[in-house]
Amino acid sequence: MDYQNIYFISAVILGFYMAWNIGANDMANSMGSCVGAKAVTLKQAVFIGAILCFFGATFVGGQVADTIKKGIVDTSAINNLDVIIKGLLATLLAASIWITFATWFAWPVSTTHSIVGALVGFGLFVGGPEIVNWHKLIGVVISWISSPVFAGLMAFAFYKIIERFILSVDDSERAIVRIGPIFIGLTFFMVVMSLLLKSPLGKHWEIGLAEGLLYALIAAIISGIIGFLFVRKAVSWGYKVENIFRILQIMTSCYIAFSIGANDVANAVGPVAGILSIIKSQSLQYKVQVPVGLLAMGGIGIIIGMATWGYKVIGTVGSKITELTNSRGFSIDFSAATSVLLASKMGMPVSTTHAVIGAVCGVGLARGLDAVDFRIVKKIIISWVATIPAAAITCILLFKLFMLLF
């Protein structure tokens, strides 16, 4: 068996392993608050998350992906394609090992930042500091702060609004009939905006900003009207306020699951597609076509990861940081998804993982300092800070090993 066959098989295996890690860690962000607030059971969360994530990865994951994530490393300074292949293999394995380690301890970490950290290690070892894009790396580090703070502030304010105008009034059922449809409309506005603007789906249909806003507004109005009829009927059937928020929370959790499948599958399949492209064309392209079969493989890997180990991080997000109800869970999911959408459309580096944790803390702080377990938060923050150096060092060691083996 020649080296190209070894590279091909290794890339597919490591890509699947990375997808498994995404499911085990990142997917918990989508369903963690839903399970913690008892909107769904763990088995239901795995089933719902698996279906939506698979469809997001396979059909909206994008036919084009980055081989070198975020342009962190300038590979034009590396003239040896064999070295680049080994570097991409080491990157996938190093990032995966770190995420597996973090998941073992139930720490929610960013898979994107893990890939970035591994690439930094590869770049430093092969080409030195000058081929690392430090400007973009600083942007990633800034997102450690901006993502959780922005989402936390939004969740804090959003839950306070719900508490003030719905939960604390004498007739909360009547209040949610009046205000609930606004939340439903906003949710659908956000979802449609995310699907159509600066997304593979929007590019395929050639939808611009004005069209995207128009379609999102139409979806918001229609969903708001339907939501009004539904909420009014639900109240007449005896549904309590938290029961209605349970349905809203499931909706937003489903959206995040779909979004993670669509966006994060590139962390697993992008480097694999890059390696396959090098083998076929004997050249490196920063943007490569990703076969649907490869996207589907990533989606299946994410499903298996969530089904087998997702419960670890789901436990941290859903119950260890603060006590959740359906209204708090809806505030978390809506705020995290909205902050990620706004930041990404503005071109700001952002992490869904960090946004969700920030939103969980924000909702907890809305009830006072004692409502948040800062010991858990401290451990999570330490794992975030350790992600880039840990992945970088691991990648350097693995790359040296690959250079010796092949």
- Residue 262 corresponds to which tokens in the numbers above? 């669509």
- Residue 192: its pLDDT value, please? 85
Residue 289: phi and psi, rounded to 5, are -75, 135
Do 271 and 67 form a contact (C-beta atoms < 8 A)?
yes
- Taking alpha carbons only, the member of 326, 321, 340 closest to residue 106 is 321
> Where on the phi/psi map is residue 103: left (φ > 0), alpha (ψ -120 to 50), or beta?
alpha
Domain ranges of the chain: 3-405
Which residue reads 């599958």 in tokens? 265
248 in Cβ contact with 193 (< 8 Å): no
Rounded distance between C-alpha atoms, residue 243 and residue 226, angstroms: 17
pLDDT confidence of residue 1: 46
What pTM does this model have? 0.90
HSE-up of 85 (CA within 13 Å, CB side)? 24
Q: What is the pLDDT along the chain (406 residues), one digit of tens a residue?
A: 467 888 889 999 999 999 999 999 987 777 888 999 999 998 898 888 888 888 877 776 665 555 565 578 887 778 888 899 999 999 999 999 999 999 999 999 998 889 999 999 999 999 899 989 888 888 878 877 888 999 999 999 999 999 999 999 989 999 999 999 999 999 899 888 877 776 666 676 778 878 888 999 999 999 999 999 999 999 999 889 999 999 989 988 888 888 777 777 778 888 888 888 888 888 777 677 778 788 889 889 988 998 899 999 999 999 899 999 999 999 999 998 888 777 766 666 577 889 999 999 999 999 999 999 999 999 999 999 999 999 999 999 999 999 998 7
DSSP 387-400: HHHHHHHHHHHHHH
Contact 23, 303 (CB under 8 A): yes
Centroid of chain to Cα 74: 25
Quote the tokens at residue 363. Answer: 């909702």
Nearest to 272 by CA among 293, 292, 290: 290
Residues 6+ apart with CB under 8 A from 169: 175
